[in-house]
Amino acid sequence: MNDFSSSRPKTPAANTELSRESWRVFQIMAEFVEGFERLSRIRPAVSIFGSARTPEDHPWYAKAEKVSRLLSDAGFSVISGGGPGIMEAANKGAFAGESPSIGLNIHLPHEQHANPYQDVSLSYRHFFARKVMFIKYASAYVVLPGGFGTLDELAECLTLVQTGKGRRIPIILVDSAFWSGLLDWFRNSLCEGGTISPEDMELIQVCDEPQEIMQAIFDHYGGRGFEPSADELEILLEL
């Protein structure tokens, strides 16, 4: 079969675009390398997600700050998106605690600005590189109320664990009232429609109180350490 696209001369504009895309590979590599080098020693860690739009006087903000302070004092580094809202609350609580506060910031046209409560601050242009860092070094996912970005991170983690491409970690939704509609849809539409299995719902826990979140994480790892096992390390290499 003839490859007509390769035999047709490229325009100067097409050549310029190809050159830009090729060089972008090195930018992507740099984001991964910096993330691996700076985060490889932070275990154990918990990734915390939630809305960038939550104001400081909101109960969700206060809860995120308290959860992250408890986790930090218990020896967990806390990873958040590095921006405002619940991300800021998570970094703020960890920053006041005993363990590192880590922000994985993303360049956006609006909404995102780095909060000042970060011991380790990384900056990303590519969502996919950033998402690898959230998953790769997390011993648990704590997901507070949020919008599309929060749902994206939740779906990413669920998919990786469900398919065996990520290790099994606690995935904890905070605020049962907020998440009840989504969970009902999972059960009544996805499970009933056969697009997920009923046992996939066991990947998710729902907690309302900060101490309950802590206990759920410790219960999951009861009898073993927080470090990935040899088999789990092999899985994480495939992320």
Render pLDDT for 32-85 as a digit per residue (tens, 0 to 9): 999 999 998 898 999 999 999 999 999 999 999 999 999 999 999 999 999 999
Its pTM stands at 0.89
Shortest CA distance to 100 belongs to which of 120, 83, 70?
Answer: 120
What is the DSSP code string of 10-58? PPHHHHHHHHHHHHHHHHHHHHHHHHHHHHTT--SEEEEE--TT--TTS
Q: 3 Cβ partners below 8 Å, 6+ apart?
A: none
Let me know: does 76 contact 55? Beta carbons within 8 Å. no
Let me know: does 95 contact 119? Beta carbons within 8 Å. yes
Report angle CA 100, 102, 105 to the nearest 5 degrees: 165
Per-residue pLDDT tens for 105-141?
998 776 568 899 999 999 999 999 999 999 999 999 9
